[in-house]
Structure 1
Amino acid sequence: MFVSVPATSANLGPGFDTLGLAVDLRNEIIIKPSKFLSISTHGEGADNPKIKKNTLFLNIFNENYKRLTKRTDNFRFEFHNRIPISRGLGSSSAVIVASLSAAYEAAGVKYTKREILNQALRYESHPDNITPAVMGGFNVACVENGRVYSKKRRLPDYLKAVVVVPNRTISTAKSRTVLPKMYKKEEAVYSLSRSSYMTALFMSESWDLLRIAAKDKLHQSRRMKMMPELFDVQKLALKHGALMSTLSGSGSTFFSLAYEKDAPKIAQSLRSRFPQYRVLILDLDNYGVITKD
């Protein structure tokens, strides 16, 4: 059994906890029946004792496998992690989505992606990362009565993601502490208008207007102050042709969307200015979670 889940970039500027898209940087898990529990971890987190045990994955997998089968069985899990951990690229959501999909596959129970998405909400209350992890593409999502309602737009091949992955983390929990308890009405309207506009631009493929729509007054600049060099990352990416450049999730990764022809120039300028950071050019992903027997 094989499960593959893409990285995601959420918020996308003004789309706080509602907008997200998937990029083709995947965690893959191979699962086989076994006489005893066996775990091997490769790639991101392989040298981290906490990550190496994959506790979150196993807890969710075991809970749901038992719920579906009324049994407790052993498996061999082989993890190949490519999504940077705690960098704002949806590593936790990828684990949640992968473990749920694996549990249904191992149990032999038929399911839909929508069911996986709604189950994932039990472990992650914000839908902006889990939705593109499940569905792929660009997604706008909201939660009503414990269910995720979302709309997806496939992303064209001529667009690329340029991501800057700093060598330091910004924890989601810590980054939320810098956000105010109350916002001014003008700030809320500013970001609401641009989030709505961004959704319309993605749905209509009006890419050249994204720079206007990506501006935000709710969370982005407040979080970026925790790592001030991110302001320079954003400025440089936009200067060299990025269609939009936003904090990925709560950071520390920065996400830029670009035409394919412009991506190498943007990446090179960022590598030259920030040699200590990883700069990746990635395809966008339209498939979301993939499972095979």
Structure 2
Amino acid sequence: MTSFKIRVPASSANIGPGFDSMGMALNLYLTLDVSPADEWTIEQHSPHLPELASVDDHYIVQVARDVATRWGKALPACHITVRSDIPLARGLGSSAAAIVSGIELANQVCGLSLTREQKLELGTAIEGHPDNIAPALMGGFIIAIGTDRTIDWVQLPSPEVDVVVSIPGDALETKTARNVLPGAYPMERAASASAVSNVLVASLASGDYELAGRMMERDLFHEPYRKDLIPHYDDIRTEAKKHGAYGSVISGAGPTMMSLTPKGTGGVVVSHVEALLPDYQVTLLQMDKSGVVTDENANG
């Protein structure tokens, strides 16, 4: 075993009506520097990482050990330095990034030679659905669905847009955001919600971002039920749209809001949302097109 690096991007899921199936990778990263060692040691260098109690309690190590065990391997001791730009419990795929990094850690140190499909199936089994896992693995903009037998997915052409994320200081647990959703939808509402999602996908595929923005903001699956949990939900949508955004949605389960804007205009939206909400972290991002990368390819 030689030293290597793993880098996994953040991700934003749902994108309005793409509930539990649509996600895009973003250029915030979880990074692991891994070296062989006689005993396990982990260093963490980020305010975005949970407090480290012990190696055995570290989620990335737990995932890696579980994957290794499935293949009849023992995970060898490593020294790992962990850094992260991805805020926890903010709807930016921090748990998916940790899962993907754990899978890749086991893959590298145990020589498993896992295929992309195997990694996706493993990650989805742990996370519960593929909307964050798929873009974290493969980058770009992905629509995916998990079945009993396999994960089916399509990678759309990367939209030529800027991405603005408005991140509040307080976290929102996914369980809390799930609990406000209905257990079932009336047929008429489900059909309308599905139609909105279909038009969103078609508009993204055809490059009609104005239409995509309108569809993003017409979700019927989850945003109407979650918006009261999201501070300044309407304020952010209104301010972003006023200054040129195509549309704004809850990122994942929230509380972060994500706005898509014409290429080159995201900075204008950032400045106006920052002025409106000075306590927020408002950041201009781009789509990550690589997904998880290892070794020298992760240094950029």
Deviations 1:163-198 (A, max 9, x none): 001101111101111111222223212211111111
Q: CA deviation at 1:279?
A: 0.4
Q: Does 1:112 align with 2:111?
A: no
Aligned equivalents of 2:72, 2:34: Cα separation in 1 = 17
Instruction: Name whichever of 23-32 and 53-62 sits farther off.
Output: 53-62
Partner of 1:243: 246
The verdict on how the C-alpha distance between 1:116 and 1:205 changes in structure 2, with shifts beyond 3 A counting, is same
Whether the 8 Å CA contact 2:76–2:109 is kept in 1: the answer is no
Q: Distance in 1 between matches of 2:54 and 2:260?
A: 30
1:197-216, aligned counterparts within 5 Å?
197-214=199-216, 215-216=218-219
Q: Which residue in the other structure is 1:171 paired with?
A: 173
* 3-state SS, counterpart of residue 131 of structure 2: helix
State the distance in 1 between where 2:232 and 2:56 align: 33
Give the match's secondary structure for 1:261. Answer: coil
Correspondences of 1:175-190 after superposition (within 5 Å): 175-190=177-192
Shift of 1:112: 2.2
Deviation at 1:22, TM superposition (A): 0.7
Change (3 A) 1:51 1:117: farther
Match of 2:77 among 49, 74, 77: 74
The TM-score, its normalising length taken from structure 1, stands at 0.94
For residues 34 and 183 of structure 1, do their structure 2 counterparts lie closer, same or farther at Cα, with a shift above 3 Å needed? same
Question: CA contact under 8 A between 2:213 and 2:260: conserved in structure 1?
Answer: no
**Structure 2 counterpart of 1:64:** 67
- In structure 2, how many angstroms separate the alpha carbons of the residues matched to 1:140 and 1:67? 27
Structure 1 unaligned spans of 5+: none
Q: How many residues align?
A: 292
C-alpha change, 1:2 and 1:50, in structure 2 (3 Å) is same
Structure-to-structure mapping, 1:220-259, within 5 angstroms: 220-259=223-262
* Alignment correspondent of 2:40: 37
Match of 1:13 in 2: 16
The answer for the alignment partner of 2:156 in structure 1 is: 153
Task: Check if 1:196 corresponds to 2:202.
Answer: no
CA distance in 1, matches of 2:7, 2:50: 21
Q: Secondary structure at the match of 1:16?
A: strand
Q: Are 2:162 and 2:260, in contact at CA under 8 Å, matched by a contact in 1?
A: yes
Cα distance per residue 1:66-106 (max 9 Å; x no partner): 44353342111110111110000000000001110111011
- Contact between 1:20 and 1:129, CA under 8 Å: does it hold in 2? yes
User: Counterpart of 2:103?
Assistant: 100
| Alpha-carbon separation, structure 2, partners of 1:143 and 1:261 | 35
Query: Alpha-carbon deviations, 1:213-267, whole Å to 9, x = none?
Result: 1111121121120134122111211121111210000101111111222211111
Q: Which amino acid aligns with 2:178?
A: R
Q: Is the 8 A contact 2:45 2:82 kept in 1?
A: yes
Name the residue aligned to 1:266.
269
Once the two structures are superposed, the pairs formed by residues 126-145 of structure 1 within 5 Å of their partners are 126-145=129-148
Please state how far the C-alpha of 1:65 moved relative to its aligned partner: 2.5
Alpha-carbon distance, 1:53 to partner: 7.7
TM-score by length of 2: 0.92
1:105-152 per-residue CA deviation (whole Å, 9 max, x = no partner) reads: 111222222221111122011111111111111111111224211000
Give the 3 Å change call, closer, same or farther, for CA 205–23 of structure 1 in structure 2.
Answer: same
Cα distance in 1 for partners of 2:253, 2:69 equals 33
Instruction: Identify if the C-alpha distance between structure 1 residues 228 and 47 changes in structure 2 by more than 3 Å, giving closer, same or farther.
Output: closer
- Give the Cα separation in 2 of the matches to 1:216 and 1:174: 19
User: Is residue 75–residue 109 contact of structure 2 (8 Å, CA) maintained in 1?
Assistant: no
% same residue: 30
Quick one: structure 1 residues 273 and 42, their matched pair in 2 at CA, closer, same or farther if it must change by over 3 Å? same
SS at match of 1:128: coil
Partner residue of 2:281?
278
Contact 1:170/1:251, CA 8 A, preserved across alignment: yes
Q: CA shift at 1:54, angstroms?
A: 6.4
- Partners of 2:50 and 2:72 in 1: CA distance: 33
